[in-house]
Amino acid sequence: MRDIFRSFLMIIVLFALLGCGGKFQKFIRDGRQALKNDKVMDAIGYFDRAVRANPKSPDGYYWLAMANKARMRYGDFVINMNKALIYGGDKERQRIADAYYDFARELEEANRLDNMYDAFEHIVEIMPQYKIGEDYAIHLGNKYFEEKFDYQKALAFYLTGVEGEDLPEEVRQSVLYRISRCYYETGDYENANMSYNRLLDLYPNHPKKQIIYFDIGNINYKLAERAFKSGNYEEAIQRGEVVLRIGKPKIWISDVQRIVGDAYLKTGDREKAITLYQAIVDEDPYQKQRNTIYALNKLKELE
């Protein structure tokens, strides 16, 4: 008797669940039809009921967001797309990013540029690999690079736009420089170094060549210093020698000579260490600089 009662309860629960699911799907269907017929407020009513019928389904929130998109209600669109992403996870990312992209273009046409920028930011956050049109991507990169000095966001947009096949060569040259600069400004020195060197390989006479060499010198100085502190003396030597070949930035040359000299000493190359310490001394006729005093002491130790 108890088993029969338990089975009866399970059947009731199953029918209740099926009923809720059926209602949910009907609300979604009716809402989409209303939206297709430009009856936006009716659509919102249906989607609201769908969300109440199944509050953990991403579909209700997605379509509620799309109805608010039709009303150009950007704030409500974002709120509901966030919920769709929470409940839908990775499988929802593509269609949510597509919706943001379409809305961004509509916002541009409506001259609501702040909302447009925000929509593109959401795309990059939701789906970093999303392919934004190169014109939009570079325009947004320029915005964050030139006006907001947000190099992380500028970099994300530039990386999206730079691979466009129809990009004019002059624009590509400028964007590649800015990508390198963004890496530099965000402290990603390894990628900055690679990006700058790639830039010089492609454009040996780049109009910003002197700035590029200065940055490469500064990057390798920082990387040499980091390598030495971590006990990677071979890398410290390699990075430091790059700076010494470039001769920039001049303000750090004696620091680099000291680091490389110490690294040579650590690896057992006494003669090269002495040469670098002596170079520090020779370049300071007054022999009062900190590095000069350090080099003089090292030379005495090595006599």
pLDDT band at 21 (very low <50, low <70, confident <90, very high): low
CB 238 within 8 A of CB 226: no
User: From residue 163, how far is each of 116, 132, 158, 216 by CA, in Å?
Assistant: 22, 11, 9, 24
pLDDT band at 4 (very low <50, low <70, confident <90, very high): low
Residue 71, number of CB atoms within 10 A of its CB: 13
The confidence score (pLDDT) of residue 148 equals: 86
Asked whether residue 118 carries a pLDDT value surpassing 80, the answer given is yes
Which pLDDT tens digit goes with each residue over 146-201? Answer: 988 999 989 988 988 887 677 888 999 999 999 999 999 999 999 999 999 999 99
Which pLDDT tens digit goes with each residue over 34-79? Answer: 999 999 999 999 999 999 999 999 999 999 999 999 999 999 999 9
CB 161 within 8 A of CB 182: no
Residue 211, number of CB atoms within 10 A of its CB: 14
Exposed, middle or buried by CB within 10 Å (0-12, 13-18, 19+), for 76? middle
pLDDT band at 135 (very low <50, low <70, confident <90, very high): confident
Query: Structure pTM?
Result: 0.71
Written as one letter, the residue type at 143 is K
Q: 220-303 belongs to which homologous superfamily? A: Tetratricopeptide repeat domain (1.25.40.10)
Asked whether residue 19 carries a pLDDT value surpassing 60, the answer given is no
Tell me 251's DSSP state: G
Q: What is the largest distance, in Å, between two alpha-carbon atoms of the chain?
A: 106
Tell me 37's DSSP state: T
Residue 17, number of CB atoms within 10 A of its CB: 10
Contacts of 128 (CB under 8 A, 6+ apart): 156
Tell me 71's DSSP state: T
Where exactly are the structural domains of the chain?
18-114, 131-207, 220-303
Q: What is the CATH number of domain 18-114?
A: 1.25.40.10
Two domains, one topology: 18-114 and 131-207:
yes
The position carrying tokens 């000299």 is: 261
The confidence score (pLDDT) of residue 129 equals: 82
Asked whether residue 8 carries a pLDDT value surpassing 50, the answer given is no
pLDDT band at 6 (very low <50, low <70, confident <90, very high): low
In the CATH hierarchy, which top-level class contains the domain 131-207?
Answer: mainly alpha
DSSP string, 94-134: HHHHHHHHHHHHHHHHTT-HHHHHHHHHHHHHH-TT----H
Tell me 38's DSSP state: T
Average pLDDT over every residue of 5-9: 50
DSSP string, 185-211: HTT-HHHHHHHHHHHHHH-TT-TTHHH
Written as one letter, the residue type at 280 is I
Helix axes 113-126, 134-142, angle to 10 degrees: 110
User: From residue 192, how far is each of 169, 175, 176 by CA, in Å?
Assistant: 21, 14, 11
